[in-house]
Amino acid sequence: MANQTGGLTVISILLLSWLITTGCNETFEPWQENDQYYFSIYGYLDASADTQWVRVMPVREDLLLEPGPIDASVTLTHMESGNTVAMNDSLYEFAHNTYAYNFWATTNLQPGQTYRITAERRDGKSSHAEVVLPPDFPTPTVFRRPQSPGGGPPLDIITIEGVERFADIRTIHYIHFANSGQSYRIPFIHIQDTLRRASGELTIEINPREDTGKLGAFLGGAPWSVFHQQIFIASAGPGFHYFPSIDEKMVALPEGISNVVNGVGYLAGLVSKTIPYESCFENGIDIPVPCETEPYVWSETIPLWGIE
Amino acid sequence: MIKRLRTIIVVTAGLLFLLLVSEQASAQSATIQGLVTDRATGRALEGASIALRELSDVEGRMHGMAAVQNGYYQVSGLEPGEYALRISFIGYVAHEDTLTLESGESRTVSIALEPDATQLDNVIVSPPETGAAGLTSGRQRLEAIEFGRVPTPGGTGDLASYLQAMPGVVSTGDRGGHLYIRGGTPAQNMVLVDGTLIFQPFHILGFFSAFPENLVSNADFYAGGFGARYNGRISSVIDVKMRTGDRYQTSGSASISPFLAEVIAEGPISHEKSSWIGSVRRSLVEETSPLFLGQKYPLRFESQYLKFTHFGESDSRCSAMAMRTYDRGRLDVDQDDVVRWNNFVLGSQCVVLPVGTDMLFDINAGLSYVSNETGQSNNPELTSSAMRVNLDVNLTRYFGLMQFDYGVFVHIHSLKSDMTELIGGPQVDSEHLLSTGAYAETTIPMGNFRFTPGAVFAYHKDMYAPNLDPRLLASWQPMGREQEQLSAALGIYRQPLAGITGTRDAGSVFTAWMSSPVSGSQLKAVHALLGWRQSLGMGFQLSAEGYRKWMQNLPVPVWSTLVQFTTELASADGAVYGGDIRLEYNRAPFYGFIGYGYSHTEYETSQEHFTDWFGSSSRKYHPPHDRRHQVNSMLSADFGKYTAGIRWELGSGLPFTQPMGFDELFSFRDRVPLVKYEYGTPRVILEDLYQGRMLTYHRLDFSLERSFSIPLGELNLQVGAINLYNQKNMFYYDVYTHRRVDQLPFAPYFSLKYETN
């Protein structure tokens, strides 16, 4: 009798528990409600460029964006005048079937002025980022010395004046492969080679043999030649963060380093100079002078290969 | 440092003094000692009753005790004279004899008891302190025969399935082989096979382990509060004793089910003197799953095991054992990432009662190796291996009624890992760690109280400061009988190695072993337990136990929002509290239990960027194994040749971090991004850590088996089903890819098992 009672008790408990739980099926909702971040805005506005490109993407529930119309109207506003320009969307495809929207507008921006990028959804939710462009600065000079003082290796010295904050300094090497006949442009970053003199001017010292060595390692054994070289220098406006001193984990936080309101991302304001990577001299004088600036992208037909 | 060393010296000297005193005091009286074992298998019968009645005393004064670990007993302080000796154990024919002891004599009487066929037919043999409710100070004695009561889709029971039916043991799913015990992580559990460590013994298909019912003799499962003999882990101990082969006759069994095929054989090498037992197991689910689960589950495991045992004088025995396991599979069948691990264990153990001494030697030497890898099938991104060589010498002796256990150990670890993709911070590719030390503990009965104070001292060459960790177990039987007992445990535990898991998802099982990677200090925990066990009569037994653990120096990932961002490690402190309550019913033909476990696990970690995230550098969160509520139940019934089993379990949802959305991050670190040419780094936007909970988990398993007697043996047919009502239980949610991975659906199975007579 006791045996049956014990067994029935356990059976009853099991049955009751089962009925309770099977009657309460839940649905899984992984998402935390997002009423904070509508758009992700990244990129920069450059007073030296005739076309402005920025990445604007919805903060979305899928890891990858499905190609299709984007619910965003993006405008570029000159805050001092109130003039607003609508930016055009352009869907870009990247490796592994990934897609992203870049917005562009052909307009001239003025150094020292304030601009705002606004992205707005059809339901009126919007994100925006505002930047102040830095003042213009004199074209830098390049002095390619065959030897450093004291008989060392060759040393190229780029002298820059009138820049408070650097966002970018890179050399761009245009490469031609003899066998395939193809050309590429390969940039190398040199912001770490910057020195600020007591006088306030900035100098960048580059050992060109190091760049050549890196190119050789990067390009491998096929015969190639450099047919042009440029230097790109970008000055950033007030409020631009000094990123090398900021922990990457903080940069990755939604609001760690961001100037996007109701969104995530970072927008920089720049004035840039693109100059030939060569020394220019006035006639008969052995003192380098600024060369004429060139378009940043020397030729859109030459694809970019590698970013360091 | 000097103060600590002084303390160590004083304590060590005190212990030595106690041992010397005991040597002097025992010189005049007589002593009887021995080992109590099963005649056929040589299995140690811990808990066997030893009773000595003084025949010269008119009142027949009684002396007695229960055999302890290894079936060892020792009754000392006996007056010279004639005694009636009776040694008995449930399910065995009692041994009775008359002895005459001389002054100062130390007599060894080892007894191999014969199983009692009449008892075995009528009762379920359950030695004291076994069963689901047999919980004392966190310790539970698991008899292999109990494993089969839990429906397991392999034809035989398994330690893994049985453990997961216990409150306080959290499995994150039916894949991965990771068990979290009372808030501790898998890498904080110590699993011993005949005294030698095995790193990852639980198979990738969570029902199975390297410990099937037919190979295991029994196991001591300490969910916390373990004694000084065990050191090097901070959460739990599963001390598995494997069976020895039958030393009188050859026999074997073979079984097959859609999940598993297994062959076991055993027999004598030299009649009565030595035996062997071996097994080969291999999973079949990869091949059969398209048929009975509707899709292919690429999960595979296998294991091989061989053990030789030699029996010497007084049933002293030495054994040598080799075990290999292999696991490979994709936990998410839709992803390409494969995880693999191998264990290889070589172990030897001697349990010896040397002639002329009154102490038991339990000597263990072993080697354990594990390798781990994960990533693309032919191109693993993360690899790790660990090897441990150990020599442990354990001695047991008595001084009056006081039992002394003490010993020394040497453990050498060799660790290798390549976690380039996982850890961005400092990492060591290869390191070696030598640990040596000693422990001592004594069990002191005082009326209805029993105290077991102890301490372990460990020295780690060139790695950590020496440590001396005290521990205390205590029990009180207020009525002076076993039916009701209050027990408690308190102790400090340390772990020189840390097991680093792959990601923050519960679904990741890759583990890399390294010395404590962040704080430079060992992982540390303090355990406090208090429990009550009560026999209710009519086959019912109740136990309830509360616990609290404080943990320090736990390595946890540094939090980031980048998908597949290289992850650094940070140090966390943890606090766990909870309780288990279990009601067990054990009266033929039924066996059943229902248990409820509550657990609250919280980690606190300080990470610099938290200040910008949350406004404070410190953050408390519930780690992904914090299962708050758990109900486990099972019922089995024997009706003649039929045995039915049903198991139902429920667990509240495990924590996960809820995403708010995805975007692509651009760095301005050393240049401005070119959005026309770069895609960016995928990022998940998170609000806070582990604020979400996955769905409640519940599952019903069922089995029905029947035995058929056939010529030369017995055939056992089992039918059953896992997840009988096809509940869609979550395995894990990958916050970085926004993917939900579910556990197995309804899985019917049948198994055939043939056993020779």
Minimum mean pLDDT range among A71-85, A293-307, B546-560, B590-604: A293-307
Give the pLDDT band of residue B156 (cuts 50, 70, 90). confident
Residue B542 has pLDDT above 60, yes or no: yes
Q: Do B660 and A31 touch (CB under 8 A)?
A: yes
Cα distance from B564 to chain A (closest Cα, Å)?
12
Cα distance from A55 to chain B (closest Cα, Å)?
6
Q: Which residue out of B632, B676, B735, B737 would a mutagenesis test of the A interface target, given it has the greatest number of A Cβ atoms within 10 Å?
A: B676
Give the pLDDT band of residue B263 (cuts 50, 70, 90). very high
Cα distance from A138 to chain B (closest Cα, Å)?
20
Residue A146's pLDDT is 77
Three-point CA angle A147, A152, A156, nearest 5°: 45
Residue A302's pLDDT is 65
- More confident position, B686 or A114: A114
Chain A environment of B687 (Cβ under 8 Å): 32
- Number of A:B CB contacts under 8 A? 208
Chain A environment of B588 (Cβ under 8 Å): 3
CA distance A133 to A127: 20
Residue B129's pLDDT is 61
Residue B133 has pLDDT above 70, yes or no: no
Residue B734's closest chain A neighbor by CA? A30
| Token couple for B524 | 């540390």
Q: Which residue out of A40, A190, A305 would a mutagenesis test of the B interface target, given it has the greatest number of B Cβ atoms within 10 Å?
A: A40
CA distance A89 to A103: 4
Cβ neighbours of B545 (radius 10 Å): 29
CA distance A28 to A18: 20
Q: Do A17 and B563 touch (CB under 8 A)?
A: no
Cβ-based neighbours of B497, under 8 Å, separated by 6 or more: B187, B232, B386, B413, B415, B433, B513, B514, B515, B516
A125-129, A189-193, B19-23, B654-658: which has the highest mean pLDDT?
Answer: A125-129
Residue in B563, B635, B666 closest to A14 by CB = B635
Residue B3's pLDDT is 54
Residue B519's pLDDT is 67
Q: Which residue out of A8, A28, A204 would a mutagenesis test of the B interface target, given it has the greatest number of B Cβ atoms within 10 Å?
A: A28
Residue B600's pLDDT is 97
Residue B233 has pLDDT above 60, yes or no: yes
Burial B105-134 (b: 16+ CB within 10 A, else e): ebbbbbbbbebbeeeeeeebebbbbbbbbb
Q: Which residues of chain A have pLDDT under 70?
A: 1-25, 284, 296-308
Residue B421 has pLDDT above 80, yes or no: no
Q: Do A6 and B635 touch (CB under 8 A)?
A: no
Decide if A250 touches B, using CB distance below 8 A: yes
CA distance A69 to A91: 9
Decide if A92 touches B, using CB distance below 8 A: yes
Residue in B590, B607, B672 closest to A168 by CB = B672
ipTM, 2 dp: 0.87
Q: Do B658 and A30 touch (CB under 8 A)?
A: yes
Query: Distances in Å between the alpha carbon of B664 and those of A60, A62, B287, B468, B675?
Result: 11, 12, 41, 51, 11
Q: Do A37 and B660 touch (CB under 8 A)?
A: yes
Residue in A60, A192, A249 closest to B560 by CB = A249
For residue range B514-529, what is the model confidence (pLDDT) as tens digits?
888 776 789 999 999 9
Q: What percent of chain B has pLDDT over 90?
A: 48
Q: Which residue out of A45, A96, A232, A249 would a mutagenesis test of the B interface target, given it has the greatest number of B Cβ atoms within 10 Å?
A: A249
Residue B33's pLDDT is 87
Cα distance from A286 to chain B (closest Cα, Å)?
33
Residue A307's pLDDT is 47
Give the pLDDT band of residue B11 (cuts 50, 70, 90). low
Give the pLDDT band of residue B25 (cuts 50, 70, 90). very low
Residue A269's pLDDT is 96
Residue B609's closest chain A neighbor by CA? A250
Q: Do B692 and A59 touch (CB under 8 A)?
A: no
Q: What percent of chain B has pLDDT over 70?
A: 91
- State the sign of the Cα–Cα–Cα–Cα dihedral B210, B294, B155, A11: positive
Residue B13's pLDDT is 47
- More confident position, B442 or B378: B442
Residue B12 has pLDDT above 60, yes or no: no
- More confident position, B468 or B56: B468
Chain A environment of B631 (Cβ under 8 Å): 17
Residue B648's closest chain A neighbor by CA? A14
Residue B612 has pLDDT above 80, yes or no: no
Chain A environment of B662 (Cβ under 8 Å): 59-63
Decide if A8 touches B, using CB distance below 8 A: no
Residue B560 has pLDDT above 90, yes or no: no
Q: Do A31 and B658 touch (CB under 8 A)?
A: yes
In the predicted model, what is the mean pLDDT of chain B? 86
Strands (E), B166-273: 169-171, 179-181, 189-193, 196-197, 216-222, 236-242, 251-256, 260-270
